[in-house]
Structure formats: C-alpha cells, structure tokens
Amino acid sequence: MALVSLRNVSKVYPPASKGAPSVTAIDSVSLDVEAGDIYGIIGYSGAGKSTLVRLVNALEHSTSGEIIVDGQNIAVLPERDLRKVRLGIGMIFQQFNLLGSRTVARNVAYPLEVAGRPKHERAARVAELLDFVGLSDKAGSFPDQLSGGQKQRVGIARALATQPSILLADEATSALDPETTHEVLALLKRVNAEFGITIIVITHEMDVIQTIATKVAVMDQGRVIERGPVFDVFSNPQAAASARFVSTVVKGIPSPAELAVLRERHTGRIVTLAFRDSAVDQKAVFGEFSRAGVAFEVVYGGINEIQGRPFGHLTLALTGADPVIDQVLAHIRTLTTVTEVR
Amino acid sequence: MDALIDLLPELWTATYETLYIVAMTLFFGGLGGLLVGLGLYLTRAGSILENKPLFFVLNLLVNFIRPIPFIIFLAAAQPLARAVTGSGIGNNAIIFTIALAASFAMARIVEQNLLTVTPGVIDAARSVGAGPIRIIFTVLLPEALGPLILGYTFIFVALVDMSAVAGYVGGGGLGNFALLYGYRQFNPIVTWAAVLLIIVLVQFVQFFGNYLARKALRR
C-alpha cells in the first residue's frame, strides 16, 4: 500500500467571472508515492504541480477523486480532522514563509505549540532540529537576518518538528542560487536517509530531480504525462515535454540547429549511439570501429550518471568507405540503438 | 492673556476631558475596528473563513458609515447613543458615537494592514495544523503588529479631531473650551492655547506610536 495515493483526482476552479470558462488545474491524476521515496514532480509554470502537492495536505480541496494518505482518504475529512493529519505532513515553500515576528527557535517551535507539546519538550526538540540543520548559533536570530539558504534550513527544521512521515517541498530551491540549492538538496537527502521521511518534491528544474529524486512524474496541463524511476525517464523519455526537460540537464541528441553546424564541419556520415547502463559496453562498440578501420570523431553528446548508473548519447562523425561503415553499423546495431542523422 | 490665566482651571479640566474621551474611544473604537477589520479580512474571497454574504454586509456597512461627516453622524446617531448610554448628550454619548464612527474607520486600516501579511505564512501555519483562531493570534496580529500600531496612532489623531465637536452635544474637552471661551468671546489667545495643547498631545502620541512600531518591526 502506497503511503500517498491519488486516485483520479481533479481540481477545477470555478470561473473567475460570469461567462468565463472554469479552470481545470488537475485533470484526473492518479499517482502512488511509496514510503521512503523521494518523488519528484516536474512541470512548467501552470502545469498544476503546486496545486497537486497542496491537495496532499489539503491546503486546497480536490473537486473529485480520492487522496489516500497513510490509509485514510483525506478528501472526505472535515477541516477539524485535517488539522491532525497535517501534523504528520511537513511542508516547505519557495518563499520559506517563516514568521518574521518570531526568532528562528520560535519558528521551529511553532508546530510543536500547535501540537500542544509541553514547553520543556519543545525546547529540547528545537535544539535537536537546529543542530540537525546546522543553525544552532542562529536560534535567537530573526528570519530577516538570515540568508536564503539559512531561511530554507529553518523551514526544513520547522517542517520536521512534529516528526512527520511525509515532507512536501513546493519549489523549495527555486529562490536559491545553484550552490545553496545543492546544500538544501543535500539536506533533504539526509532527511530522507536518516529519518526515512518520504519526500514529494515539486520543481521546474530537472537538475533538482536528477540530484535527489528516485522517481519522477512529469506534469503538463494538469495531467501526469509520464512517470517512472528517474533513471528510466532520463535515459529514455517518452513524452515530448519530458524530453525537453531531460535535455535541460543532459546533452543528448543534437537539435536541428546544432546539427546544421555539425554538417558544415563534417561531410561524412553522422550517427548517434545510445548508451544505457552497463547493458551497453562502450569498449565493444568502439572496438568494432577500430577493427573495421573506420575512423570516428565524437562531435556531440555526453554520458551522465543517475543514481550511480551511467547513460547518454554520443554522436560520431565517421570517415571511411560506405559499404564498410554499413557493415560496422550492422554489427553495432546488435549491441545498441544506432540512429543515422542526416 | 489675563483671561487665559483666569481660565487655567477650566483649561486643565478640558484637557483632562479630551484625554478621557480619546482614551475611551481609542479603547472601544480600537477594539471595534479590530473586530470589524478582522471580519473583513477573514471573510474576503480566498481567505481562511471566506464568507461572501458576511463580507458583503461588512464591506457595505463600512463604506456606508465612513464617508458621513462626523458632525452629521453625531446628530444622526443620537437616538442610538441615547438608547445605549441612557442619554443623547454629555461625554458618554459622545464617547459612544466617536467609538462607533472610529470602529468603521479603523476597520479599513486594520483590514489593509492584515492584507500586507504574506499569504504564504498563513499557508505555513495551516500546513502544521493551526486553526483560524490560532492563526489570528499567532500569525496575523503579530506579523502585522508594526503597521497596526502606526494605524492606531493615525486613528488617535482622528479621535482628537472628532472629540473637538463634543461641545455640540454637551460634552467637554479642548474643542468645547476653544469654542466657548476663545471663539465666542473673541479671544484668540485662549483659542490658541487649546490649539497648542492639542499639538503637543498629538506630537507626543505620534512619537510614542512611532517608537512602539519601530520596536515591533525591529528597525
């Protein structure tokens, strides 16, 4: 049984004015998040990903469908009961959303106050959390005295205060610079590894997915258009939108414009080879070229690694007699996917 | 000048009355304004206690009462003042009427200040399971405290202004003093003494309000 399970969930906003069409933000989405996953949900602005994650802790209410969190359909729960459910789900935000009137320590203590924990217990837990996020020395500071990365670490400490089993991260690194982004992502990875907390990450940056997610769902216009283990989606994206996202972090197949430039420099035949995992032995492939006496030059591509597994595409410009090249390519086709580009 | 010296006891009494009227109206009007302002904020579309009919009524009420010139409102609300305080004249009647008018003026200021609180922090509070009452007291009011203090300082000046016409319905205060002993007896020095005292009072309160707001905003 998945920890979070969406069944045909839709969210329709009523028309903004009379006569205007209603807006379908989420269009019958089904999704299963297993305990221990770091589940990435990626999409462009307006794809519905933020709305989707806000349905999981009922900050917004679905129009139809079931939202099962830890075995309980929260779509039918009244607001009073939802407050208890939310204690078990932490959330961090793009704009951090810390309380400016409270110190760092009192921000982290806030969920504990809501949960009605006694004062001495709160103090101990806050100290423990600030130590975990490395901000013990900032306990007495106010949020406006912190950097963006520090604010998000306070946000994470606050979200973890009540020991939730699920953490929702809504564009948690989108307001941060690349270096700070990686610090925060590393911290989220620790949260997952050390406490076994299931994390749902919303982002528009494929880099974030590549760095921490184990599974990914690609959203477009309120629908999930592709999903699967991150390695599978990265190495072999099916939907066009997924391929566009993948191409933002993985240099794979040259675009038509890039190909035109390559063509100017190389008059011979150009082929793209796919490498995926250890299933394809690069040494064997390149050995075939050497044996046949076909010279090659790598002109485009890259090999990436997701969760320790390499994959990628290499585009080669070949020099040699046509029949020989045909023969070699026939051999290599038995080893991997070969695409001749013209 | 001699006239003013003779009138000094009356001047002090008038000053005390003004302070009394303003303090009472700041308390009741401030409280009323906070409640109506919170009501406006909480019931508006998209807010945590969204309630379109209630918002419509509150909004209409505020828009209806706010533009009425106070001296007309004072006359118009006299029957209500009589029903509530037992008399249509005197300091209690004027306190009631000013507090009522100030509630609606203050409501707008409270509403506007609450709107400056980022909706995100309310999401954050909701996401840890906080209910509406807790959000009001632990998020909304503390987060908007600085601007709210400035708003109350602003309304204080309006209260001094409104209290000046108390003399028309048999109330006291510096406005009544200036009219009675200055204006009607052709003695500008007496009028200016009252003006001076009001300036000092307003300056002092404005300074104090700014100080508190600065503390709340930690700037």
pLDDT for the residue A284: 83
Domain presence at residue A191: yes
Instruction: State the distance between the two ends of chain B, measured CA to CA, in whole angstroms.
Output: 45
**pLDDT tens-digit map of A241-285:** 888 888 888 777 787 788 888 888 888 888 888 887 666 678 888
Burial B113-146 (b: 16+ CB within 10 A, else e): bbeebeeebbbbbbbbbbebebbbebbbbbbbbb
Over residues A332-341, the mean pLDDT reads: 83
A138 touches chain B (CB under 8 A): no
User: Inter-chain contact A87–B134, Cβ cutoff 8 Å?
Assistant: no
Q: Are residues A237 and A283 in the same domain?
A: no
The pLDDT of residue B165 is: 86
Q: What was the pLDDT predicted at A182?
A: 94
A100, A115, A142: residue with CB nearest B129: A115
* pLDDT for the residue A278: 63
CATH number of the domain located at residue range(s) B2-217 in this protein: 1.10.3720.10
**Please, are residues B5 and B187 in contact by the beta-carbon 8 Å criterion?**
no
Cβ contact, residue pair A114, B130, below 8 Å: yes
* Longest distance between any two alpha carbons in chain B, whole Å: 69
Nearest Cα of chain A lies from the Cα of B95 at a distance, in angstroms, of: 34
A310: CATH: 3.30.70.260
CB distance from A88 to chain B under 8 Å? no
User: How large is the average pLDDT for residues A221-225?
Assistant: 94
pLDDT top residue among A105 and A272: A105
Judge whether A291 lies within some domain.
yes
Quick one: average pLDDT of A206-220?
93
Would the pLDDT of A342 be above 70?
no
Q: A322 and A261, same structural domain?
A: yes
DSSP letter at A297 equals E
- A316, A268: one domain: yes
Instruction: Please give the backbone phi and psi of residue A40, each rounded to the nearest 5 degrees, phi first.
Output: -95, 140
**Residue A129 included in any domain:** no
Same domain, A322 and A199: no
Least CB–CB distance from A101: residue in B129, B134, B145? B145
Q: Residue A289: pLDDT above 90?
A: no
**Is residue A218 located within the same domain as residue A320?**
no
B144, closest residue in chain A (CA to CA): A101
Rounded percentage of chain A residues whose pLDDT exceeds 70: 99
User: Which residues face A24 on adjacent strands?
Assistant: A12
Q: Any idea how long chain B is?
A: 219
Backbone φ and ψ for A7, nearest 5 degrees, come out as: -120, 110
Q: Which of A249, A280, A297 is the last residue of a domain?
A: A249
Q: How confident is the prediction for chain A on average, in pLDDT?
A: 91
Q: How near does any CA of chain B get to the CA of A228, in Å? A: 28
Q: Which of B128, B143, B145 sits opposite A114 (nearest CB)?
A: B128
Q: Are residues A330 and A292 in the same domain?
A: yes
What is the mean pLDDT of the segment spanning A332-337?
84
Please report whether residue A310 resides in a domain: yes
Where does a domain end: A200, A230, A249? A249
Domain containing residue A49: 4-88+164-249
Asked whether residue A135 is domain-assigned, the answer is no
- Residues A172, A73, single domain; the answer is yes
Residues A276 and A296 occupy one common structural domain: yes
Give the chain A residue nearest B131 (alpha carbons): A83
Chain B touched by A64 (CB under 8 Å) = no
pLDDT over 70 at A292, yes or no: yes
Q: What is the pLDDT of residues A144-199, one digit of tens each?
A: 999 999 999 999 999 999 999 999 999 999 999 999 999 999 999 999 999 999 99
pLDDT of residue B2: 78
Interface ipTM: 0.87
A·B CB contacts under 8 A = 71
**Domain C-terminal end among A234, A249, A264:** A249
Residues A76 and A173 grouped into a single domain:
yes
pLDDT over 80 at A72, yes or no: yes
Give the span between the Cα atoms of B94 and A125, in whole angstroms.
Answer: 54
Res. A54: pLDDT tops 80 = yes
> Residue B169: its pLDDT value, please?
84
- Contact state of B127 with A95 under an 8 Å Cβ cutoff: no
The whole-number pLDDT of residue B219 equals 63
Low-confidence ranges of chain B (pLDDT < 70): 219
Q: Are A61 and A196 found together in one domain?
A: yes
Residue range A116-150, pLDDT digits in tens: 999 999 999 999 999 999 999 999 999 999 999 99
Q: Report the C-alpha gap between A273 and A265 in whole angstroms.
A: 20
Q: Indicate yes or no: CB of A95 within 8 angstroms of CB of B126.
A: no
Write down the pLDDT at residue A19: 81
State the amino acid at position A53 in one-letter form.
V
Classify residue A290: in a domain, yes or no. Answer: yes
Measured distance CA(A114)–CA(B156) in Å, rounded: 35
d(CA A161, CA A172): 17
- Which CATH number belongs to the domain containing residue A64 in this structure? 3.40.50.300
Q: Clarify whether residues A170 and A264 are in a common domain.
A: no
Coil/strand/helix, residue A317: strand
Supply the pLDDT for residue A257: 82
Residue A177 lies in a domain: yes
Question: What is the tally of structural domains in chain A?
Answer: 2
- Establish if A127 belongs to a structural domain: no
User: Do residue A209 and residue A239 come from a single domain?
Assistant: yes
**Nearest-CB residue to B120 (from A95, A111, A114):** A95
Q: What is the DSSP string of A155-193?
A: HHHHHHTT--SEEEEESTTTTS-HHHHHHHHHHHHHHHH
**Residue A60 distance to chain B (closest CA, Å):** 10
Write the CB contacts of B188 (distance below 8 Å, at least 6 apart in sequence). Answer: B182
Mean pLDDT of A59-77: 93
| pLDDT above 70 (res A340) | yes
Scan for tokens 């269009």, then name that residue.
Answer: A27
What value does the mean pLDDT take over residues A2-9?
94
Q: Average pLDDT for residues A226-252, to the nearest whole number?
A: 86
Tokens of B22: 């303003």
CB B129 within 8 A of CB B52: no
| Mean pLDDT rounded to a whole number for chain B | 92
C-beta neighbour count of B19 within 10 angstroms? 15
Instruction: Say what the pLDDT of residue A279 is.
Output: 61
Residue A28 confidence class, pLDDT cut points 50, 70, 90: very high
pLDDT (0 to 100) of residue B81: 94
